[in-house]
Structure formats: C-alpha cells, structure tokens
Amino acid sequence: DAGVIQSPRHEVTEMGQEVTLRCKPISGHDYLFWYRQTMMRGLELLIYFNNNVPIDDSGMPEDRFSAKMPNASFSTLKIQPSEPRDSAVYFCASNFALGRVGGYTFGSGTRLTVV
C-alpha cells in the first residue's frame, strides 16, 4: 500500500486566494482526519469523517475552512479566502479501527505558506 497520499507537498499562495489541499486515504480505512500543525499550537484536529460523513468539525477555525469527502478514496480541505495566519503544515490521516486500539497513518503533509 502506498500509504496516505497528500498533494501538493508545498503550496505558496497570496493572501485572499483559494487553496485546496487533497488527500487519498489508505484503502479500507473508514476514518479520515485533517490536522494542522504549527510550532505554537502543535497538532490540532480540524475535522474528521467516518464512512465519508463528517462527524466532528468543531476544530475548523472559521467559515473560511471547508472539507469534503465525496467518496472513500478522496478528501479535500479548502481555505477561501486564505490569510497569512493559515500558514502551517496540514496533515491528513486515516484509520480503520473504531475505538481505542486503532493507530493513525499520516500522510507526509502539505506545507502551506500564505504571503
């Protein structure tokens, strides 16, 4: 298995532009998570899906952020309009096990810089 695949690896955009981050989870994994990592705040859960359905989006910072999972093999995280404070590394992770024994498999992340 190729693991969790994220694209792009790096994204530099100007303030106000729309940014779309993409994720392909591991086949058979029924949970998908989007995290944001910064030096100040560490890893923060933004939203997660179970069987393509959003379960908890309480971590999404504001209405500028949206996430979709149209099918079991693809998810997007969109920021519109982007702001410099959105600069961070965004990780997607997937998991197949409900409950306490499942470990996440993370992608390599997308480093977003908003200038």
Partner 1 sequence: TQLLEQSPQFLSIQEGENLTVYCNSSSVFSSLQWYRQEPGEGPVLLVTVVTGGEVKKLKRLTFQFGDARKDSSLHITAAQPGDTGLYLCAGGSGGSNYKLTFGKGTLLTVNP
Q: List interacting residues with partner 1 (CB under 8 A).
A: 4, 31, 33, 35, 41-43, 45, 48, 55-56, 91, 93, 98-109
Nearest to partner 1 of 81, 96 (CB atom): 96
Q: Which residues of 39-57 are buried (b: 16+ CB within 10 A; e: fewer)?
A: eeeeeeebbbbeeeeeeee
Shortest approach of partner 1 to residue 88 CB, angstroms? 13
Nearest to partner 1 of 65, 91 (CB atom): 91
Shortest approach of partner 1 to residue 81 CB, angstroms? 27
Shortest approach of partner 1 to residue 16 CB, angstroms? 28
Nearest to partner 1 of 15, 98 (CB atom): 98
Nearest to partner 1 of 18, 56 (CB atom): 56
HSE-CB at 32 with a 13 A cutoff on CA atoms is 29
